[in-house]
Structure 1
Amino acid sequence: MASAPAVHIQGVTHRYGTHEALRDVSLRVAPGTLYGVLGPNGSGKTTLFRILSTLMPPSDGEARVFGRDTSEEADAVRQMLGVVFQEPALDENLTVRENLRIQGALYGLHGADRQARIDTLLERLDVADRADDPVSELSGGLRRRADLARGLLHRPELLLLDEPTTGLDPGARRAFWAAIERLREVEGTTLLLATHLMDEAERCDRVGILSEGRLVADDSPAALKAELGRETLWLDTDKPTALRDRIDAQFGVSTRIVGAMVQVAPSDPPSFLSALYEALGNYIRSATIRTPTLEDVFMVHAGVLPGDSREKVLTRNADPEGPS
């Protein structure tokens, strides 16, 4: 199984009644990769993680973790998995060390081996000086790092991170990611991350964007941004369809409608903008020329704008997808 992908999803569809939460999703994640999953509410992120964590089988298709089928070989898959949830899965009345001892026992770790592993993780995650304090007395950032130790205790080959920095302040988020980077160097664990934060997605080796249950983009952050061109022009308008059609008819330049914006990728944006204002200025409220960001990629593929009343995907504190 050593040569198998860390995650191999082939043609996965999942239905809740007549609703398709995932639609023919296929992706491969190489061992040692940090892979980010982005998507608005209802895009299927939670359903994908539930399938990978063996909580339910897909309606169609197959999902494998290091060659093991998540439906047919669930017990074997669970031994290879660690999970860090949106909220820490720790008993607040117990100390950090007591929580980790219980977690280790659940995976068959005992005695000196378990204690050595606990001590190693506490040191690597900078929680050692609080190991004998009740979890209830820890800050949010310390709880998160203690929970990361819980997820890593049994040396999982794949760690699922489901919006792990939800509710953390910027300093705690930086400390959490510093710990993740150190662990990647030392342990080589494959990481699958669900996040709504663009700076976290930028850290990933590859990013997959889910929209309405479909995987609509899958590549490195740099490659995804390069697809939009070196510089792009974003036009704010009351009539996006009319403006797009006029640009197509008069200039023959590629355009996309993204929410109430029209995105244009001409070869020379400054010169093009001058000509555009002269020809169609009455359609344009404002215009911005910028180097494409991962947020732009997300908006183009998922059709969601920051602050759009339909989705609060870039500012929300949690992912209330429910059965999606």
Structure 2
Amino acid sequence: MNIVDLRSDTVTQPTPAMREAMAKAEVGDDVMGEDPTINRLQELAAERLGKEAGIFVPSGTMGNLVAVLAHCGRGDEAIMGRLGHTFLFEAGGMSALGGVMANTIPNQPDGTLAMDDLRGALRDIHDPHHPISRLVILENTQNRCGGTVLTPEYTRQVADFAHERGLKLHIDGARIFNAAVALGLPASQLVDGADSVTFCLSKGLCAPVGSVLCGSREFIDRTQRLRKQLGGGMRQAGILAAAGIVALEQMVDRLAEDHRRACDLARGLAQVTGLKLHMGMPQTNMVFVSLDDGVPGTAWDVCLRLEKHGVLTHDVSERAFRLVTHYWVTDEGIQQTVDAFAKVL
């Protein structure tokens, strides 16, 4: 039976070109700054995002944590959305390891943070009762809002707001290249004004491991020690970076295919009796659907039934699912998924 794995784009496996590049990678000791393939990846990543420098880290979670620790001190505060990955899905690392407090405000349906809410979240720096607001965090694309895209105009507005008040702006850009492809713009335009940005190589770009944190050269110099403290300093990691270089050079433009298949999937599932689109038509590679009121059971019950038909997906609530398209999901897999939902409901 053919398996269609829509649980996440993290399930992607390296392409044949990546495996070949990994086998041939020139390596050195990256903690000493001597891995030429790591250095090339970091330079390429910074160039693509319009920043001065980058640092390779094992995961996006570590990249975000390193950024928070570089921008904030113990007892400081970072303002972010309640549906943000940094708040929901990173194990409370910034508070557990950095003593940094999360000040959460609502995400709007389009993934943005309302400017009025940002203004209201700011602390009075002169009041000793309060932590000091140091950082604003945005997520682009915004996962829990449906893979929505933040525009460069909005991001610049938030950056200006933060900088005028002495705060920094970090972007969790795990899927920033999905956002760039969706808007038809260079990724650098989407993060212009941000002080730092993290993006993942191991989601839709198909590399097996890794993320890159980018920012000013002075900022990246400071992150070296933080990465080491968190256990992220690696030695001959060029074998991983080689796949990341292939990802940036070969896998970005084709993300449009994932977006097209997500729309095909959404249109197909919208025709299945018992289902409804949960967040409208997808902007990128995520489809959210929910069960109609008359359908008994839970989304997880349906997931278990779908598995018997070769379709893997996740529930995101008692009655809703998230399905994520990626390189290894074909047109035939989309049709198999629609047919499977129709059979189990």
Q: TM-score, normalised by structure 2?
A: 0.29
More strand by share: 1
The structure with the greater share of residues assigned to helix is 2
Question: Radius of gyration: which is bigger?
Answer: 1
